[in-house]
Structure 1
Amino acid sequence: MTADAPDRTIASRATDRPGDESPFALGLLLRRAHSRAAAVMGEALRPLGIELRHFAVLIVLVNRGPTVQRDLATATGSDKAGIMRVVDDLERKGLAVRKSVPGDRRVRAVEITPRGLELFDAAHVAAEPLADRLVAELRSGEPEKLTDLLTRFAHPSDDKA
């Protein structure tokens, strides 16, 4: 170590443990929180025969209506091959259909089916008790506060509008 080199101690290294003060701490904490939430929500979806990746596409379809696969990939953070597999799964299950886009024979839009909407609603009912379990360690008012903070963190441009 040279005289000009910063003094790096083990305590300043990213550890993924409570009290971590490294520059990676927030990202690592969010990753751990996502993993825990995804596991709990996956538990709600499993009996319905879908995974979180399927539900993410259904969310986009409910919010936006028919959506081309390219835009589904962007909205869900998936790649082209991954989104094709998810849409194939949803079609096989009768939860979504691909339809031609007027004016462009090469592009197909994905649309949720009535059965997909029923499953979407059933997923919310199934998730309710599990969502409560997810925030059971928080005190009164903290789940709402956490939701507010995460919303502002995840949608920073919405605050400036």
Structure 2
Amino acid sequence: MTAEVPHKTVSSRATDRPGDTSPFALGLLLRQAHWRAATVMTEALRPLGIELRHFAVLIVLVDRGPTVQRDLVAATGSDKAGIMRIVDDLERKGLAVRKAVPGDRRARAVEITPQGVELFDAAHVAAAPLADRLIADLKPGEAEQLTDLLTRFAYPAGGQA
């Protein structure tokens, strides 16, 4: 089965170059920005023995406290199997533990350990100078503006996608 391609040619091409008017350009720019930020933050986490996927779960646990795995799936954009592997890794490293949820025999809440909190804090110390590198080309106030814009983009009012 082949997809029908409209006969009208589009003069705008999807690139990640500034000024591209393609409807795909924003997504490509966001992907490039994510790749750059992830590369820098991975550099900060590597000496601590964890990856970004692990740290994403630790962020949720610090923010929310003990969290059931299905909620970790939603909060991190992972899938059930992926969260299971991440939590397994965190448990093996002593950074998190699974605990029974009162009233629900099947559910397990994941909780950060004191060692996990120490690593969480150490990661922030290690990441600070690298994060400064990420925003080095921005003018005063632009980092805050970028954060505000991305927050509103990622979490639109009314929960719309």
TM-score, length-normalised on structure 1?
A: 0.90
Kindly indicate whether residue 117 of structure 2 is the aligned counterpart of residue 103 of structure 1: no
More displaced 10-residue stretch of structure 1: 53-62 or 133-142 = 133-142
Q: Give the letter aligned to residue 42 of structure 1.
A: T
Q: Give the letter aligned to residue 131 of structure 2.
A: A
Kindly indicate whether residue 25 of structure 2 is the aligned counterpart of residue 25 of structure 1: yes
Question: Is the partner of 2:137 in helix, strand or coil?
Answer: coil
Question: What are the within-5 Å matches in structure 2 for residues 68-147 of structure 1?
Answer: 68-147=68-147
Q: Check the 8 A contact 2:41/2:127 in 1, yes or no.
A: yes
Residues of 2 paired with 1:147 and 1:69: CA distance? 28
Residues of 1 paired with 2:152 and 2:123: CA distance? 25
Tell me by how many angstroms 1:5 deviates.
4.5
Residues of 2 paired with 1:60 and 1:143: CA distance? 23
Structure 1, unaligned stretches of length 5 or more? none
Residues of 2 paired with 1:109 and 1:146: CA distance? 34
Q: Check the 8 A contact 2:16/2:26 in 1, yes or no.
A: no
Q: For this pair of structures, how many residues does the alignment match? A: 154
More displaced 10-residue stretch of structure 1: 85-94 or 149-158 = 149-158
Task: Name the structure 2 match of 1:149.
Answer: 149
Question: Is the partner of 2:105 in helix, strand or coil?
Answer: strand
TM-score, length-normalised on structure 2?
A: 0.90
* Identical amino acids, percent of aligned pairs: 81
Cα deviation code 1:72-95 (max 9, x no counterpart)? 011100011100000000000000
Tell me by how many angstroms 1:34 deviates.
0.6
Tell me by how many angstroms 1:158 deviates.
7.3
How much is the aligned-residue C-alpha RMSD, in angstroms?
Answer: 1.6
Residues of 2 paired with 1:147 and 1:104: CA distance? 38
Task: Name the structure 1 match of 2:49.
Answer: 49
Tell me by how many angstroms 1:18 deviates.
2.6
